[in-house]
Amino acid sequence: MPATRIWLKNPLAIFTANTLDARGGLVVEHGRIHEVLGLGQSPATPCDHVFDAREHVLLPGLINTHHHFYQTLTRAWAPVVNQPLFPWLKTLYPVWARLTPERLKVATQVALAELLLSGCTTAADHHYLFPEGLEEAIDVQVESVRELGMRAMLTRGSMSLGEADGGLPPQQTVQQGEVILADSQRLIHSYHERGDGAQIQIALAPCSPFSVTREIMQASASLATELDVRLHTHLAETLDEEDFCLQRFGLRTVDYLDSVGWLGPRTWLAHGIHFNPDEIVRLGEAGTGICHCPSSNMRLASGICPTVDLSNAGAPIGLGVDGSASNDASNMILEARQALYLQRLRYGAQAITPERVLGWATRGSAQLLGRNDIGELAPGKQADLALFKLDELRFSGSHDPLSALLLCGADRADRVMVGGRWRVIDGHIDGLDLNALIANHRQAATALMAG
Ligand SMILES: [Zn+2]
């Protein structure tokens, strides 16, 4: 951890995700934010370095709360470009079943690099594919996260309900319950870090109501309580899923969630679109988090998440890019822009401000992951920062710097710091050969389609 003391001085604009005046900038020491300075203030004691931030808009590092890194290999694939969720999944499952450790490695590197360059410092991934030979998928991901020096919530996903038993995925992509639970325990014991500054965390994440059994939902909830880790799944994404739950379980999605012991503050859900008013109240009272994935919801025409109603009811709201087969980008700052615009269609322009959306992408997302050491700029928080410059053509003529980030479509951070270390400098990831990575990734994507 860098011992130096650095003053990020007088930023052009700063968003703290709280009410602190930080116009004088931040002092970072030992990987944490040491001081937050108001307008005209200077650090209490001298700093080793001063970073002149007068051309930068400074944000807490963005936090992505739902992704499927492996899907970067199946972006913009013609057979599913115009499909909604269920046929989209059924067409893609056999392709994804050909994933190997090498392919997953390069897919993960690409997703993480893209996220990092967009100002994201912490990423959650939902990995639920463990075909033969890929039993150590999460181990592969841990290695990539460490190489890039980011933070991650890697979820041990699962599928246990194959076509033969009335589920959606083909048999070769599902695993036995005992295998899933044993591996979940192994991963938590091997990798899950607790407390402030954790780099790697593990959560349990059965994929969706139509791809896992009731038993694995219940067992995952018990194990998560026993080992104190979080729970994640897809819920209420489409009406197809609601129909499936009604037919198979005789329950709506939230009733099903409740019946398997998941309705509580340990859980965060991806999408959360099709809820009735009573369900919104119940989710809010339970403190269950919702990850809004606007691009994916628009691409698959799934619907619009009732973010403001959920938030008013008490449910934390975060943002996620979702997997790259339904977005197809892994860009967190552009995702915030999408959230701003999609949510304005539901709640109007005045209710959905850039600050509100950036709050979802930072503090809200941190809440979903159960963390209070990241997601805002305040003394004692981790020094996870994203700095954007407004010197590109797209920003020319803009006035309010913070609004310009979203309204003009910022897509790449100039600098990104994770735990006090610069990971992106002048728009480039320190120590990464991006051209070589793209070449390897293209080759892997082509090979995956070839079989
Ligand atoms: Zn997803």
What is the distance in A from the centroid of ligand 1 to the CA of 391?
A: 34
What is the distance in A from the centroid of ligand 1 to the CA of 44?
A: 46
What is the distance in A from the centroid of ligand 1 to the CA of 112?
A: 16
- What is the location of CATH 2.30.40.10 in the chain? 6-59+377-429
The number of beta carbons lying within 10 Å of the beta carbon of residue 265 is 15
What is the distance in A from the centroid of ligand 1 to the CA of 94?
A: 17
What is the distance in A from the centroid of ligand 1 to the CA of 6?
A: 38
What is the distance in A from the centroid of ligand 1 to the CA of 57?
A: 30
What is the distance in A from the centroid of ligand 1 to the CA of 138?
A: 17
**pLDDT at residue 4 tops 90:** no
When pLDDT is cut at 50, 70 and 90, the band that residue 39 belongs to is very high
For range 53-71, the mean pLDDT: 98
What is the distance in A from the centroid of ligand 1 to the CA of 300?
A: 11
The two three-digit tokens of residue 296, written as one number: 């994916």
| Residue % of the chain over a pLDDT of 90 | 99
Q: For position 421, what pLDDT does the model report?
A: 97
DSSP secondary structure letter of residue 360:
I
pLDDT tens across 76-90, in order? Answer: 999 999 999 999 999
What is the distance in A from the centroid of ligand 1 to the CA of 68?
A: 6
What is the distance in A from the centroid of ligand 1 to the CA of 226?
A: 26
What is the distance in A from the centroid of ligand 1 to the CA of 234?
A: 6
What is the distance in A from the centroid of ligand 1 to the CA of 326?
A: 8
For range 324-351, the mean pLDDT: 97
What's the rounded Cα separation, in Å, for the pair 397 and 324? Answer: 33
Q: DSSP per residue over 68-131, as a string?
A: -GGGGGGTT-GGGTT--HHHHHHHHHHHHTT--HHHHHHHHHHHHHHHHHTTEEEEEEEE----
What is the distance in A from the centroid of ligand 1 to the CA of 323?
A: 6
What is the distance in A from the centroid of ligand 1 to the CA of 127?
A: 9
What's the rounded Cα separation, in Å, for the pair 75 and 297? Answer: 16
Q: DSSP per residue over 213-257, as a string?
A: -HHHHHHHHHHHHHHT--EEEEES--HHHHHHHHHHHSS-HHHHH
Q: Could you tell me the fold of the domain covering 62-368?
A: TIM Barrel (3.20.20)
What is the distance in A from the centroid of ligand 1 to the CA of 437?
A: 24
The two three-digit tokens of residue 59, written as one number: 């944000």
What is the distance in A from the centroid of ligand 1 to the CA of 171?
A: 20
- What is the location of CATH 3.20.20.140 in the chain? 62-368
When pLDDT is cut at 50, 70 and 90, the band that residue 2 belongs to is low
Q: For position 72, what pLDDT does the model report?
A: 98
The two three-digit tokens of residue 78, written as one number: 């013609």
pLDDT tens across 358-369, in order? Answer: 999 999 999 999
What is the distance in A from the centroid of ligand 1 to the CA of 237?
A: 9
SS3 45: coil
What is the distance in A from the centroid of ligand 1 to the CA of 429?
A: 26
What's the rounded Cα separation, in Å, for the pair 228 and 5? Answer: 35
What is the distance in A from the centroid of ligand 1 to the CA of 69?
A: 10
Q: For position 3, what pLDDT does the model report?
A: 59
Q: Return the residue matching tokens 């615009």.
A: 341
What is the distance in A from the centroid of ligand 1 to the CA of 66?
A: 6
The CATH superfamily holding the domain 6-59+377-429 is: Urease, subunit C, domain 1 (2.30.40.10)
pLDDT tens across 127-179, in order? Answer: 999 999 999 999 999 999 999 999 999 999 999 999 999 999 999 899 999 99
First to last CA, the chain: 44
**pLDDT at residue 395 tops 70:** yes
**pLDDT at residue 199 tops 70:** yes
What is the distance in A from the centroid of ligand 1 to the CA of 32?
A: 32
Q: DSSP per residue over 187-216, as a string?
A: HHHHH---STT-SEEEEEEE--TTTS-HHH
The two three-digit tokens of residue 90, written as one number: 């059924």
What is the distance in A from the centroid of ligand 1 to the CA of 88?
A: 12
* Torsion sign across C-alpha atoms 381, 383, 384, 387: positive
SS3 451: coil
pLDDT tens across 284-313, in order? Answer: 999 999 999 999 999 999 999 999 999 999
Nearest to 95 by CA among 111, 127, 71: 71
What is the distance in A from the centroid of ligand 1 to the CA of 257?
A: 17
pLDDT tens across 186-197, in order? Answer: 999 999 999 999
